[in-house]
Every structure is written in structure tokens, then in C-alpha cells.
Amino acid sequence: MAQAGMQELLKKTLAENKDIVPSDPLFLHNGELYPTMICCPETLKILDTFETRSDDVILVGYPKTGTNWVGQILVELEAASGKYDEEERRKRSMRQRERELSLFPYLEFGDPAKFERMKQLPSRRVIKTHLAPQRLPKSIFQKKAKILVLFRNPKDTAVSYLHFANGLKLLPTPKTWDEFFSDFIKGKVPWGLYLDHIIEWNKYLDDKNVMFITYEQIKENAALEIKRMAEFFDFTVNEQEIQSIVEKTSFKTMKDEASETNEGIGKFLFRKGVVGDWKNVFSEDQNKEMDRKFEESVAKTKLGMMMKYDVYCQY
């Protein structure tokens, strides 16, 4: 769903589920933190009842890695590949359908009855989630749905996360950068330690239904990466359609559209959209700490190397 109506939906869902939603801004489920404002323990408990379709288009990305951007690219690819006429396109509009069905745009958000309502979405569904692979519903792997896994350099991800968490009041109190960095590096934030997600995904390197991509790769050559996404998901699109998707999903276009329709969330979802903003924020000690953690845990793994830490996370 676009940002339009999202706050309204949040309020409604929280009111409906007041008996099962904890009063703290964060709650623990299976050892991981989630924000009460958008997630609900009951939904997480029954996540495994979600019925994947083999043609579902699954996008997985830790918060603030660019999931709204890539999600929109996939929605556009599905629409272009479907060659729907104008009316069909309007009827099938993911945004429209999600609004009608009161669906939050991420699998683990919202009320427990959502999985039943999701059955009404027409194929191919584009499904986004921030969950680490071991927490995904089993049916995603059983049905062999294709999964695109998105990463972003951890320094920009952390900076983006702070703005978002403070902006949306996801945390118990607004955090300073220093406080947030200290939580982020320990994984004491919703969806846990980012580096752990990367480590876990290294177990899926040989799975041909999983494709890895980085925010930075798309920033460098969106057309090329959109083409790779289309091939992976078997979307049939021509060069002209790819070019049109590049334009429709540019930072400016998405930000402008969000500011026309949203109720305040857009400015946190579409903040700067650049690579390297961390250089304005990280202290020397924080830099060293992140470099050390990355080196210790991820740097020598295949996915760690794919992230080009030396290029994007060094001065």
C-alpha cells in the first residue's frame, strides 16, 4: 500500500486488537524485537499459516535497505509484464487492492486475520517482508517461490533507521544518534542485528530461487538491475518498459507521489535516497566499531564481499 491511509489503518488495527497488542512500543517474539505500532504478536504466532503461491514475488530486506523502492519496481514489473489494459490494471492495482482489504504492505505487519484476506489478492502477488530467512513462513521455501533479497551498506542503513524510528515513534523514546548506534550494533532494534541477517542468507547462496541485490547496485545502474530482476522473476518486459520503470521509481518521482498522498509517513520513507550519508553522522569511534564488527562477522563471506564494504563504507 502507498503511504495514503496507512496511519488510519494503523490506528484502526490497534483499536481492534487492543486486547492482544502489548502496551509497550516494542515487544519480544522468539527473541526478536518488533514495534507494537505496526506488528502484533498474534500475527507473528501464526505466520506459518501464510499460504505462499509458487508464483508469488517475494522481496526480503532488513528495514531501511530500500524495500519500498524495490517493492515498487517489482509491482511495476508485474504490471508491465501482465500487459493488462487500463481497466484491468486499475482493478488489479496492488495499492488499491491492499487498501480495500486493509492490508499492510509487509507480511509481518497488521492483524492476524490478514493472511485469510491476502487470499483475495490476484496473482502475481508482490510480498514484502523484513524477516530474516529462518523466520520466514515455511511455505515460501516449500512452494519454491522466488525470493529477492535486498542489502544496503550497514552504515547508511543505520542512519536511515534512526530517522525512521524517531520519525514514526517506533521506539519507547526518541533516540540520539549515539544511543541508536549503540543499540543497532548490538541488534537491540526491531528485526534484530542486521549483520546476522546477512550471515543467515549466506546459507542460501546455492538456492536458485534466491537472488541477492544491493541498494548501491541499483543506484549505480537501475536499468541493468531491473532487467536482472525481470529475468529472475520471469517477467516479460522490453527496454522501453524498463526505462519507464526506472523513471516511475526514481527517488524524486516516488517522493513527490508520497508527499501528495501520504499523511506524514512519506517524509521518513523517502528521506535522502543517497549512498554515503553516513559520512555526515558517524564518529571516528563508531566507524571503527562498525568496521570491526563487519570484518569479524561478514566481510569474508560471499555476501559480505558482494556488498563492497570497502567502496561504500570507507572514506
End-to-end CA distance of the chain: 37
H or E stretch at 224: helix 222-233
Q: Cβ distance 275 to 153 under 8 Å?
A: yes
Tell me how far, at minimum, the Cβ of 72 lies from ligand A3P, in Å. Answer: 7
Which of 39, 64, 194, 229 touches ligand A3P by CB under 6 A?
64
Tell me how far, at minimum, the Cβ of 65 lies from ligand A3P, in Å. Answer: 5
Residues that contact ligand A3P, how many (by CB under 6 A): 21
Displacement of CA 159 from its chain's centroid (Å): 16
Displacement of CA 211 from its chain's centroid (Å): 15
The three-state secondary structure class of 77 is helix
Give the nearer residue to ligand A3P in terms of CB position, either 112 or 273: 273
Per-residue string for binding with ligand A3P, 111-150, x by CB under 6 A? Answer: ----------------------------------------
* Residue 160 binding ligand A3P, by CB under 6 A: yes
CA distance 166 to 109: 19
The three-state secondary structure class of 47 is helix
* Residue 43 binding ligand A3P, by CB under 6 A: no
* Residue 251 binding ligand A3P, by CB under 6 A: yes
Stretch that binds ligand A3P, among 65-73, 175-183, 283-291, 296-304 (CB under 6 A): 65-73
Tell me how far, at minimum, the Cβ of 157 lies from ligand A3P, in Å. Answer: 8
* Residue 269 binding ligand A3P, by CB under 6 A: yes
Nearest Cα neighbor of 152 from 308, 289, 297 is 308
Tell me how far, at minimum, the Cβ of 186 lies from ligand A3P, in Å. Answer: 21
Residue with cell 535516497: 273
Give the nearer residue to ligand A3P in terms of CB position, either 43 or 249: 249
CA distance 176 to 4: 29
Which of 81, 272, 276, 281 touches ligand A3P by CB under 6 A?
272
Residue 130 is a catalytic residue: yes
C-alpha separations of 175 from 1, 7, 9, 106, 162 in Å? 28, 22, 26, 25, 8
Which residue ranges make up the site for ligand A3P (CB under 6 A)?
61, 63-69, 156, 160, 163, 249-251, 254, 269-273, 277
Residues with a catalytic annotation lie at 130
